[in-house]
């Protein structure tokens, strides 16, 4: 069912369910007033329950483009709390604001400059791109917030980030903002290092709505101690990947073993310079050990980076990431040249990476 928090009366006045009403008040309002969807004009009913946040629902199954997704109790409650957050800071905030110029409805419109999208359910990358572009072409900055059920464990840890949430990194490079209405608290996924598939290693940090600012606070860089924790976690995933390759029966068809053969690397002697945690590694959605082996193999055969990427031997996340993937490979090649004779152990390697590269993460 499509649920909304703003409805229009017969007099074209908007009625907001943003303040706390007693059930008696809501029942009296429901019995005395007809409500309509402010976008499609269809009749809506005021729903008053003990569990779900009071809301309006379309009376019939009439299609309404701007309210095409059913909304969970978490989404409704999250929008209300975010509305209260912006209101408490004296921002001009409009709830479920319909923008006819682009036929889109923002969960919240702040100062007519920022469209706050509180997304609790998976959204295709295509839909996300279309909605983002719609706001930008109208001079409005979209701010995407992922709805979650808290609490989350804080600190450096292994994370599972679905593809649609990963796309948000293109809007806020380096971090993702989440919000838990149960706690009235924001969370950040930051300092993210891609592992493979939907696995990442990153820092989770909570921030109470009472302490949050707007524009939203930006996460701090990792301390050396935090980077050490991240590096050790990443190194564990590296060891697991290498161990998994030992069980491959047809090694001739294995990209890993073929690259090791070309580079004359014997089993059990893979140098530490292969499988490094790198910023923006998500542009090559492949295990770091494998693509870094293939990059050095191509380099020794004097295959240019651009030609290697265009050959599709190394995958890229999407066509628009071509230049980013090339920059990532160039960055790795520069690091490899400095590390290929590395014999100092993990502690020295970790310190080198933090000092030379990851201070910028």
The answer on 342 and 245 residing in a single domain is yes
The answer to whether the bond into 253 is cis (omega within 30° of 0) is no
The answer to whether the bond into 215 is cis (omega within 30° of 0) is yes
Residue 65's pLDDT is: 60
Residue 209's pLDDT is: 97
The answer on 262 and 277 residing in a single domain is yes
The answer on 76 and 215 residing in a single domain is yes
Residue 208's pLDDT is: 97
The answer on 173 and 77 residing in a single domain is yes
Residue 63's pLDDT is: 63
Residue 18's pLDDT is: 75
Residue 224's pLDDT is: 92
The answer on 236 and 168 residing in a single domain is no
Mark which of 67, 90, 109 sits at the end of a domain.
67
pLDDT tens-digit series, residues 293-330: 999 999 999 999 999 999 999 999 988 889 999 999 99
The answer on 207 and 83 residing in a single domain is yes
Q: Are residues 150 and 185 in contact, defined by beta-carbon separation less than 8 angstroms?
A: yes
Residue 236's pLDDT is: 96
Q: If 0-12 CB within 10 Å is exposed, 13-18 middle and 19+ buried, where does residue 198 land?
A: middle
The answer on 343 and 312 residing in a single domain is yes
Q: Which two tokens stand for residue 290?
A: 């494998």
The answer on 39 and 85 residing in a single domain is no
Mark which of 67, 86, 103 sits at the end of a domain.
67
For residues 64 and 84, give the distance between their C-alpha atoms in angstroms, rounded to a whole number.
27
Mark which of 47, 67, 87 sits at the end of a domain.
67
Residue 361's pLDDT is: 45
The answer on 79 and 50 residing in a single domain is no
Residue 155 — φ and ψ, nearest 5°? 110, 180
Residue-range definition of the domain harbouring residue 356: 226-360
For residues 230 and 202, give the distance between their C-alpha atoms in angstroms, rounded to a whole number.
7
Q: How many domains does the chain have?
A: 3
pLDDT tens-digit series, residues 26-51: 888 888 888 888 777 788 888 887 65
Residue 11's pLDDT is: 81
The answer on 85 and 54 residing in a single domain is no
The answer on 255 and 355 residing in a single domain is yes
Q: If 0-12 CB within 10 Å is exposed, 13-18 middle and 19+ buried, where does residue 63 land?
A: exposed
Q: Which residues of the chain have pLDDT under 50?
A: 68, 361
The answer on 78 and 53 residing in a single domain is no
Residue 46's pLDDT is: 86
């Amino acid at each position: 069912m499509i649920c909304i928090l703003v409805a229009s009366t017969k007099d074209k006045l908007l009625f907001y369910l943003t303040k706390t009403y007693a059930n008696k008040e809501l029942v009296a309002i429901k019995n005395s007033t007809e409500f309509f969807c402010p976008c499609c004009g269809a009749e809506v009913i005021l729903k008053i329950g003990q569990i779900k946040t009071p809301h309006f629902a379309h009376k019939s199954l009439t299609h309404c483009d701007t309210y095409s997704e059913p909304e969970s109790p978490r989404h409704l409650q999250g929008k209300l709390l975010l509305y209260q957050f912006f209101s408490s800071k004296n921002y001009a905030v409009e709830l479920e604001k319909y923008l006819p110029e682009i036929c889109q409805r923002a969960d919240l419109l702040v100062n007519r400059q920022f469209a706050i999208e509180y997304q609790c359910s998976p959204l295709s990358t295509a839909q996300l791109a279309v909605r983002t572009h719609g706001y930008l072409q109208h001079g409005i900055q979209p701010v995407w917030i992922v709805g979650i059920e808290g609490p989350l464990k804080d600190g450096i840890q292994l994370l599972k980030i679905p593809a649609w949430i990963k796309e948000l990194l293109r809007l806020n490079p380096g971090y993702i903002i989440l919000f838990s209405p149960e706690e009235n608290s924001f969370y950040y996924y930051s300092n993210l290092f891609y592992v493979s598939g939907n696995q990442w290693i990153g820092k989770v940090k909570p921030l109470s709505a009472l302490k949050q600012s707007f524009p939203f606070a930006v996460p701090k860089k990792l301390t050396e101690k935090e980077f050490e924790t991240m590096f050790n976690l990443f190194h564990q995933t590296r060891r697991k990947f290498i161990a998994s390759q030992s069980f491959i029966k047809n090694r001739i068809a294995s990209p890993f073993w073929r690259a090791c053969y070309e580079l004359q690397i014997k089993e059990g002697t893979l140098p530490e310079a292969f499988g490094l945690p790198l910023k923006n590694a998500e542009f090559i959605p492949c295990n770091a050990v494998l693509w870094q082996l293939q990059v050095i193999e191509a380099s020794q055969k004097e295959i240019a980076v651009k030609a290697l990427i265009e050959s599709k031997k190394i995958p890229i996340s999407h066509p628009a990431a071509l230049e980013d993937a090339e920059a990532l490979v160039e960055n790795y090649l520069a690091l490899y040249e400095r590390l290929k004779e590395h014999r100092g152990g993990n502690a020295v390697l970790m310190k080198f990476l933090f000092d030379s590269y990851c201070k910028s993460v």
